[in-house]
Amino acid sequence: MLFRLAWRNIWRNKRRTLITAASVFFAVFLASSLACIQKGTWDHMLDNVVNYYFGYVQVHADGFWDDRSINNLMTYDPQDFKQHLSDQVSDVVPRLESFALASVGDQTKGVMLVGIDPEKEDALTSISNRLVQGRMIADHGLLVGEGILENLKIKLNDTMILISQGYHGANAANQYPIVGVVHFASPELNKQLVMMPLAQAQDFFGTNNNQLTSLVMNIQAKEAVPEVLTTLESSLAEDPLEVMDWESMMPELTQAKALDTAGANIMLLILYIIISFGIFGTILMMTKDRAYEFGILVSIGMRKGKLMFMLWLEIVMIGLIGALVGIGVSMLLVKYFELNPIKLTGEFASAYEAFGMEPLLPAAFDIPVFLFQALAVLIITTVMATYPAYVLWKLKPVEAMKN
Amino acid sequence: MNVIITKGIEKTYNPKTIPVHALQGVDLTIKKGEFTAIVGPSGSGKTTLLNIIGGLDRPTSGYIEVGGKDISKLSDNQLIDFRRENIGFVFQAYNLIPVLTAKENIEFIMLLQGIPKAQRDKRTLELLHAVGLDDKINKRPIELSGGQQQRVAVARALASKPAFILADEPTANLDSLSTVNLLDIMANLNMQEHITFVFSTHDQRVIDRARRVVTLEDGVISSDVYVDQ
């Protein structure tokens, strides 16, 4: 009956209940929608950067990631390396990467030149799905990012001259036909990445055919990253190799995400402080208006603990009405924007691209985000309910009934 | 059998500032089955005495025994439990829970007592019948007249099978007909079920029906008269 009583009590003052629930609704709706869009945007960006190129875990020669020197290579024996892998790694993708100048006609730009095993690379990054012109490379030619075509004003099947410093100071220069054009979701990669078959890259840079700059672990589930990392680190501890996950390879990305999340959390905090005051206002009125009634209930034998529980139920019910409707509506909105991401245009798009991000704001339909909102409202209402609990604790029935 | 015993009850409000001596040594014994009216002018201490007997307030000094128990030694929670199990209250302003129906208001006390639903339902219907409100079972207080609400309040007070019922000015807000009806109901319950009633009242109609009239003046009992009906 306490539930029934609490439920009926909250509708004694419909307007007050609806206004309070509406404030919770707007807060939850805004908080969940913004959190889901923020998470979706970051997931998408990380997916672009990490999953589409860097991979979650890489192995390099010690110090390579800091100096990126073609002279700091690792020697790779596929059979030998297998023993270091956990079951979570489905394949190992070899790369030889360095920087080069790409020149066509009188245009020259710096590019990131990567030698790849086309089949393994495709299995890792599904690069063939992102071909917009031409075909995949096999044993000769270049795959270039779509942005490079625009920058150098070239087209498919043109010949590109690449100039770089090879292994141990050797000159590296050659020309190759562009056989395919790839669209990368990350604008940064789109404007910089040039790929060629691994053997061709080893020939270009003058390395041996077992020398690489990096091995990318093809991991099926993102959640397995810690396990793969630990296994590799312990297994390769004696070798002059470094094992890095995506967060240590791109600390700026992690920091940017942390900064952005912190900013959003501050916004959420402010939002929740505002609704806390709204709820508290209702609680104050509710407590003041009903002091007489509380006196009666205690007089006829209702323990204060039970009365506190009933009041808590009322406050939580009001909060949850707003929270559940807010979650429901934001779920619909988030689902819509998950399927139809917001495409930024104009200055916003340029700003995103300048930071190497695709100008898209997809939403992530992330159940924990919604559950967190419900939990937050539950906590806020419970904390707010300490006030009437205090009033009830101090309540003297005779004095309450005098008012 | 004594239901209420008070000895030398004193109650002083604002003892540290401007002391108001509401009760100044009240000795009173109420026996089971009495139909007692406590009367006196405003400020004589009627309500204070009723509050102390009902365990709603504590005396400044003196001894109070209700149902054979010294209630001055009970903690707040024990007092609440004691009231629920032993005392029925009828207030001047009815004080029903506005969101509950007549049946639910009566049932509420039994729910607090932990009585099973079947028993609750049976007793609620019996009580509603006793106060002549069988047809108002699902009506909320706002749908009932003042007299009907007070009858529900009496039924609620009886629900916990208390040792006695304290009624503070129960007829103050009622018209004549409702007052007569209510007094008839309470007098019948007193006669037939031997339920003890203690009223505080100004109402001559109540005083006329009482079998004992205790008069308070300035916090002391000035007269205590048993009346032959």
Q: How far is B57 from chain A (nearest CA, A)?
A: 7
The answer to whether the Cβ–Cβ distance between A300 and B81 falls below 8 Å is: no
pLDDT over 90, % of chain B: 48
The CA distance from A43 to A356, in Å, is 14
Average pLDDT over residues B94-107: 89
Q: Are A284 and B83 in contact (CB under 8 A)?
A: no
**SS3 track for A270-323:** HHHHHHHHHHHHHHHHHHHHCHHHHHHHHHCCCCHHHHHHHHHHHHHHHHHHHH
The answer to whether the Cβ–Cβ distance between A12 and B98 falls below 8 Å is: yes
The answer to whether the Cβ–Cβ distance between B99 and A8 falls below 8 Å is: yes
- A302 vs B contacts (CB less than 8 Å): 80, 84, 112
Q: How far is B64 from chain A (nearest CA, A)?
A: 18
The answer to whether the Cβ–Cβ distance between A299 and B83 falls below 8 Å is: yes
Residue A200 belongs to what H/E stretch? helix A198-205
- A11 vs B contacts (CB less than 8 Å): 99
pLDDT at residue A178, as a whole number: 95
pLDDT in tens, B184-199: 888 888 888 888 999 9
* Mean model confidence pLDDT for chain B: 89
pLDDT in tens, B68-77: 889 888 888 8
Q: Are A218 and A120 in contact (CB under 8 A)?
A: yes
Give the torsion sign (CA, B126, B128, B129, B134).
negative
Banded pLDDT at B229 (limits 50, 70, 90):
low
A230 close to B (CB below 8 A):
no
pTM over the 0.80 mark: no
Name the closest residue on chain B to residue A394, using Cα atoms: B76
Banded pLDDT at B179 (limits 50, 70, 90):
confident
pLDDT at residue A403, as a whole number: 62
Could you give the ipTM of this predicted complex?
0.86
Average pLDDT over residues A362-388: 87
Tell the residue number behind the tokens 């770089």, with chain if given. Answer: A164
- A304 vs B contacts (CB less than 8 Å): 76-77, 80
Give the torsion sign (CA, B72, B74, B79, B82).
negative
pLDDT at residue A166, as a whole number: 92
Interface test with B, best of A299, A310, A311, A398 (most B CBs within 10 A): A299
Banded pLDDT at A176 (limits 50, 70, 90):
very high
The CA distance from A399 to A394, in Å, is 11
Banded pLDDT at B171 (limits 50, 70, 90):
confident
pLDDT at residue B196, as a whole number: 92
Give B66-135 as a DSSP string: ETTEEGGG--HHHHHHHHHHHEEEE-TT----TTS-HHHHHHHHHHHHT--HHHHHHHHHHHHHHTT-GG
The CA distance from A95 to A39, in Å, is 31
Q: Which residue would you say has higher pLDDT here, A27 or B198?
A: B198
- B156 vs A contacts (CB less than 8 Å): 300
A346 close to B (CB below 8 A):
no
Which DSSP category does A341 fall into?
A: P
Whether the predicted pLDDT of B5 surpasses 90: yes
Give the three-state DSSP class for B194.
coil
A155 close to B (CB below 8 A):
no
Whether the predicted pLDDT of A25 surpasses 70: yes
Q: Are A397 and B56 in contact (CB under 8 A)?
A: yes
Whether the predicted pLDDT of A162 surpasses 80: yes
Interface test with B, best of A3, A11, A300 (most B CBs within 10 A): A300
pLDDT in tens, A38-71: 888 888 877 777 777 788 899 999 999 998 899 9
Alpha-carbon separation of residue B77 from A174, A248, A299, B74, B159 (angstroms): 92, 60, 11, 8, 20
The answer to whether the Cβ–Cβ distance between B97 and A306 falls below 8 Å is: no
The CA distance from A246 to B183, in Å, is 85
A403 close to B (CB below 8 A):
no
Average pLDDT over residues B200-228: 90
The CA distance from A46 to A247, in Å, is 10
The CA distance from B120 to B133, in Å, is 17
The CA distance from A21 to A76, in Å, is 63
- B107 vs A contacts (CB less than 8 Å): 1
CA atoms within 13 A on the CB side of A379: 9
